[in-house]
Amino acid sequence: MGEEYLQQFLDKTTWYNSIVLENLLPTNLWDPLPHFLQSWLRNYMAGTLLYFISSFLWCFYIYYLKRNVYVPKDAIPTNKAMLIQIYVAMKAMPWYCALPSLSEYMVENGWTKCYARISDVGWLPYVVYLFIYLVVVEFGIYWMHRELHDIKPLYKYLHATHHIYNKQNTLSPFAGLAFHPLDGILQAVPHVIALFIVPTHFTTHIGLLFLEAIWTANIHDCIHGKIWPVMGAGYHTIHHTTYRHNYGHYTIWMDWMHGTLRDPIDDEVKKVM
């Protein structure tokens, strides 16, 4: 890629920085910072806001506005449990935000297969590439997640932090980002690895990274959405209680192919029997 084309990526991240930081901080606090630190600060502030807004609104809806509709009263986590989840997530958030900042740096320097505009490839290739990108991410997250369970030191020192939430009344949308920092980064790394394999629209990549905050909040609410083949909260709640099933991220396909799928409906039937 030529310098003129790479400048488009730099212009985009500079624009994203100004949109977020100008509206949240005085200019003299962030403008003198190097571009990489500006991007990290933007990712940190935007990620934190997204985490709190999405998790709070969803908790308010399912635990208060729709109390006893989606979640039984005895399955609602305590305020103390949710505050602990927020504490764990906030300790990790500065580290989480290093990953998208690093991926942006690599894109700006032309090290990846990212492209700046959909018009550079056309809509049909964009959709095809996006599908392949999501397949790569699904494959990567499944195996990363599974190895975090199968490799005992990784589980003991990293992933166990997240699995203290192992009952319905200990899980909440706030648990979605309550990981050991390295654990959270490892599970997001497939998003970055995919950039070196698949031509990817840069803004779509950034958007998908931040949508993770909403997705992870959703899959920790213990509500089975029954949208096949989505790996929703019903499946993920089973993962938190059995530890050996439903490692997938967006869909059930990887678990189905590797024999680790456990269906929430079948699980309920077995409990009744």
Cβ contact 37:17 at 8 Å? no
pLDDT digits (tens, 9 = 90+) for 6-25: 899 999 999 999 999 999 99
Is the preceding omega at residue 229 within 30 degrees of 0, hence cis?
yes
Closest by CA position to 266, among listed 212, 226, 230: 226
Asked if residue 250 is part of any domain, the answer here is: no
pLDDT digits (tens, 9 = 90+) for 52-70: 999 999 999 888 888 777 7
Asked if residue 109 is part of any domain, the answer here is: yes
Residue 27: pLDDT above 80?
A: yes
pLDDT digits (tens, 9 = 90+) for 190-205: 999 999 999 999 999 9
Enumerate residues 6+ apart whose C-beta is below 8 A from 48. Answer: 90, 93
Asked if residue 249 is part of any domain, the answer here is: no
pLDDT digits (tens, 9 = 90+) for 82-134: 999 999 999 999 999 999 999 999 999 999 999 999 999 999 999 999 999 99
Asked if residue 271 is part of any domain, the answer here is: no
| Separation CA 34–CA 116 (nearest Å) | 22
Which pLDDT value is given to residue 105?
96
**Mean pLDDT score of the chain, rounded to an integer?**
91
| Separation CA 93–CA 88 (nearest Å) | 9
Asked if residue 236 is part of any domain, the answer here is: no
Asked if residue 230 is part of any domain, the answer here is: no
Confidence (pTM): 0.91
Asked if residue 267 is part of any domain, the answer here is: no
Residue 215: pLDDT above 80?
A: yes
Asked if residue 268 is part of any domain, the answer here is: no
pLDDT digits (tens, 9 = 90+) for 151-164: 999 999 999 999 98
For the beta carbon of residue 157, count every other beta carbon within 10 angstroms: 12
Domain, as residue range, for 133: 3-220
Residue whose pair of structure tokens reads 């497939």 in the numeric block: 190
Cβ contact 240:171 at 8 Å? yes
Cβ contact 215:203 at 8 Å? no
The count of structural domains within the chain is 1
Determine whether 128 is exposed, middle or buried from the number of CB atoms within 10 Å of its CB (0-12, 13-18, 19+): middle
